[in-house]
Structure 1
Amino acid sequence: MSKFNYFIAFLLVNCFSINLIVSQVDTIMVFSESMNKTIPNIVITPNNHTNQNKKFPVLYLLHGAGGDYAGWASYVPEVKAYADKFNMIIVCPDGGSTSWYFDSPIDSKMKYETYVSKELVSAIDKKYPTIPENKGRAITGLSMGGHGALYLAFKHQNVWGAAGSMSGGVDIRPFPNGWDISQRLGTYAENKQNWEDNTVMNMVHLLNGNLEIIIDCGYDDFFFEVNRRLHEKLVLRNIPHDYIERPGGHNYEYWANSLKYQLVFFDDFFRRK
């Protein structure tokens, strides 16, 4: 789909009021065997999800550092209506305050890669009428969650068929003292290989062109340069993707707007698949 078509689709989506929310919002608790604890998650289902003959695609929507599973629904309440507008299930996992969605090589209690990509996906597929294939799953997120979405999708392309990032920390190496990353991977000075192995920037080689990707970051964001470098690396490797850079900073005002564009992208993916 061309950028012009995305813009037209975006206008059409926003021509309709989203004030009437008829989707269902649940908080479900999922036990993680890998971490031996129960984790909360918000699940937003379209109003017709009880139709036994209907299966729905699922968008996994990740929060950022310092946030939790309730962040998207709290700061972008429109998300509660998007499940109906786009006829999809939206899952907001709790990824820990600063997990970075890694299976930490130095802390056995932090296995959020396993939790989101295996345990949570399995639980959602068992409880809800999903399309239990990668063609029926997408994942995106903001900031730490943008990194997490690409990280998980790059490593688990059998699970997700499309992935996005909004203001994502897509290269963690320039930020060795930020957001507790050193508590997940060890200090950069003493554990450089952990950082090299777990930054999205170094995972492009895992892509074969089948994963559909959208990346979005604002000019005034402290992650802007790493996002542009990831875009340039994907271009160099001939990896198809959509890339958007526009005015904006690292805040929910920007992410609320980004989500609208990304939902159109994912809806197009689900419809084609």
Structure 2
Amino acid sequence: MSKHPLLLLIALFLSLTAVAGKVDTVSVESASMRKAIKCLVITPDRYASASAERFPVVYLLHGFGGTYRDWIGMAPELSNYADRYNVIIACPDGQNSWYLDSPVKPTVRFETFMTAELLPFLDRQYRTQPDRQHRAITGLSMGGHGALFLAMRHRDLYSQAASLSGGVDFRPFPKNWELRDLLGDAETSPDVWTANTVSTAADAIQNGELRLLVDCGTGDFFYDVNKALHQKLLQRNIAHDYIERPGGHTWDYWRGNVEYHLLFFRNGFPR
């Protein structure tokens, strides 16, 4: 009798891990930057067995100092989430670009890469549903900035966007994260800095154009700028979900919340 609980735990473990998405790494040639960029792609288990079925794609972006392998390394349960929500998850390598086209460094063209090179590549190589209604994007920190920035500026490509602890307005941090290398000096080029923030990109969107989720811990150094973005969206009557709860700029927070982002997106994809 004493072995029964252990057997039950083993059976539960096997049932949870028996089905998991397949993890691939692809190399995407960027003509704009003249180099290859890695991207990790998780396909749901159903992808292998359903020869004609096409799948929505969630783009999941890493933070500053990270790589395309950060998310699967720190949150390996993503392969199970791909099955649970029946989506393809794509994690491109954004290097330390803030997912921008830099006006200072002509070799940094990550907005172009993300929108004009990566999306068409994945739509060719995988059985995606290649339209904006079936694309969503989120990310952490620098990737949270990238997700909202790209979606707000390219509403023809994405229907949903979210951010985890996003650097949605980096102007209060002019000496951090190599931003000066990408945008020039904040004091001499304030217009350039302002133009490249999510806060400014939000001025161009209209209510209903994007399903939005803004998510940040109350102990995060980006908490104030996320709350300010929330207030701006409220003032402009832009419908969005907003989450703030205890937590810092940590993997505990991001790993604990990323499944909610996938659920949010699934509820927004056409059924």
TMscore range, shorter length: over 0.9
Q: Is the 1:20–1:81 contact (alpha carbons within 8 Å) kept by the matching residues of 2?
A: no
In structure 1, what is the Cα distance between the partners aligned to 2:15 and 2:64? 31
Q: Percent identity?
A: 47
SS in 1 for 2:106: coil
SS at 1:226's partner residue? helix
Provide the rounded CA distance (Å) in 1 between the counterparts of 2:234 and 2:240: 8
2:192 to 191, 194, 219: 194
SS of 1:25 mapped into structure 2: strand
Task: For residues 138-177 of structure 1, give each alpha carbon's deviation from its aligned partner in whole angstroms, at most 9, with x where no partner exists.
Answer: 0000000000000000000111100000000000110100
TM-score normalised by length of structure 2: 0.92
- AA at the equivalent of 2:224: E
Shift, 1:232, TM fit? 0.3
CA contact (8 A) 2:134 2:270 kept: no
Contact preservation (8 Å) 2:152, 2:201: yes
**2: CA distance between counterparts of 1:105 and 1:240?**
32
Within 5 Å, which residues of 2 pair with 1:111-126? 111-126=109-124
Looking at structure 2, the residues matched to 172 and 225 of structure 1 have their Cα atoms a distance apart, in angstroms, of 11
Give the deviation of 1:48 after TM superposition: 1.9
User: Mapping of 1:175-186 within 5 angstroms?
Assistant: 175-186=173-184
State how far apart, in whole Å, the 2-side matches of 1:17 and 1:258 are. Answer: 23
Output the CA distance in 2 between the equivalents of 1:144 and 1:95.
9
CA drift at 1:52: 2.9
Alpha-carbon distance in 1 for matches of 2:91, 2:193: 26
Structure 1 match to 2:97? 99
Contact 1:18 1:78 in 2 (8 A): no
Establish whether residue 108 from structure 1 lines up as the match of residue 115 from structure 2: no
Correspondences of 1:1-273 after superposition (within 5 Å): 18-50=16-48, 51-96=50-95, 98-209=96-207, 210-272=209-271
CA contact (8 A) 2:41 2:90 kept: yes
How far apart, in 1, do the equivalents of 2:20 and 2:236 lie? 43
Larger radius of gyration: 2
**Distance of 1:71 and 1:181 partners within structure 2:** 21
Counterpart position of 1:9: none
Q: Deviations over 1:229-266 (max 9, x none)?
A: 00000000000000000000001110011101111100
How far 1:47 sits from its partner (Å)? 1.3
Partner amino acid for 1:248? G
Which amino acid in the other structure matches residue 264 of structure 1? Answer: L
Deviations 1:1-27 (A, max 9, x none): xxxxxxxxxxxxxxx964334311100
Alpha-carbon RMSD across the aligned residues, in angstroms, is: 1.2
